[in-house]
Amino acid sequence: MGPTTGRVGPARRSRPSRSLGKQASAAGTPLLRVARHSAQAQLSFMKLPVMPPVSPMLASLVREIPGEGEVLYEPKWDGFRAIVYRDGDEIILGSRNERPMTRYFPELVESLRTHLPRRCVVDGEIVIVGEDGGLDFDALLQRIHPAASRIRKLSVETPASFVAFDLLALDKRDLRPRPFHERRKLLEKALAGVRAPIHLTPATRSREVAEAWFRRFEGAGLDGVVVKPLALPYLEGKREMYKVKHERTADCVVGGFRWHKDGQGIGSLVLGLHDEQGTLHHAGVATGFTAKQRVELAKKLEPYRKRAMETHPWREWAEVEDDAVRMPGAQSRWSAQRDLSWEPVRPELVVEVAYDHMQGMRFRHATHLRRWRPDRTPRSCTYAQLERSVPAELVEVFASGLEGATAH
């Protein structure tokens, strides 16, 4: 595998906004229409063997790292999935939902022109390195902003990086039908000597190395390990790869819920955790209920809805209109088309949930209900119970992939 040179260090940062609320919506806004118009204009100048939009190939979740064989192990990056299309000077950044992201990362566009082959399509991840040397997903979220002036400012203060991990097209060749080990070999050759902020993801044939990555680099913000069969062609939108993610449990207060979109039962539980001062913070949600469970949850929570808001620790949020406060029903740029209104319940019930990792004071992804905990008091549900990963820097991750990481 070709080496990745250049320093992967802390990005300069401004004080991030605490809210992702009302500044923009993800679809139907003038912002998105402008972005789409720009991408459509660029498409008229592109003649690549693989044209946008492309739905990225995905991975299925497994609980253990599969054994060695005809597979390659890679770190799982926690950023924005992006497919880069380059045809000469034209660059388009396509997202997982097939919407263009080019305007949000102007600093990446110039770097991609410098380091990528003149005609190619590359699959990878956009990430931001924080002050501690690890990935900063909150800073990445702030980059999706409606104001061009704000985008330019953040492109200097919190510059993004691009980590490449697959090659879909090169020159006049559509590489999607080719096996992954061929695509990886061509990607290594194409990015040989590449410099920051463009990187080639580390990779290894060793399960032992992959397990070490899984243990060591969670503190750098990595999401786990991805396992890719070497003979696998690029199958758009299919879950043909495998991913292994961290899983832990936590006891949380049930502070409310959201109705399921079909109106039949509860779609998610709104969870809370106490800080050292005893303040109950919104920490995330629990989802993934069957139709039967949704109805059962509605019956169980019904008695706790009575007069819930009168003494609820989150009652003041109903009157807050300040973007600086994030509440369970707050819209984000990614959720503007969903109904996020929530119903309070008296915070007297405790659940044990499974989660992968934290992002600040919130669960990074939706959690899953394991069981009710009638033996626990709500006040005992604190942040102190959570396991904290050991900090690590991205430079260690890239350095770890320089030895014995050939894909062929």
Residues with a known catalytic role: 76
Q: Are 32 and 98 in contact (CB under 8 A)?
A: no
DSSP string, 257-324: EEE-TTSSSEEEEEEEEE-TT--EEEEEEEE---HHHHHHHHHHHHHHHTTGGGS-TTGGGGG---TT
- Kindly give, in sequence order, each residue whose CB lies less than 8 Å from that of residue 248, ignoring residues fewer than 6 positions away: 354, 355, 356, 357, 386, 387
Q: Which pairs with CB-CB distance under 8 Å and at least 24 residues apart come from 356-362?
A: 356/223, 356/224, 356/245, 356/246, 356/247, 356/248, 357/218, 357/223, 357/246, 357/248, 357/389, 358/386, 359/137, 359/138, 360/138, 361/273, 361/275, 361/281, 361/283, 362/282, 362/283, 362/284
d(CA 207, CA 401): 13
d(CA 133, CA 262): 43
Closest CA to 162 of 109, 112, 198, 122: 198
Which two three-digit tokens encode residue 335?
Answer: 């959720």
Q: Are 401 and 392 in contact (CB under 8 A)?
A: no
Q: How far is CA 327 from CA 282, 283, 340, 345, 359, in A?
A: 7, 10, 10, 15, 16
Residue 301 has φ and ψ, to the nearest 5°, of -85, -15
Q: What angle do CA 174, 176, 182 make, to 5 degrees?
A: 95
Which two three-digit tokens encode residue 43?
Answer: 């498409």
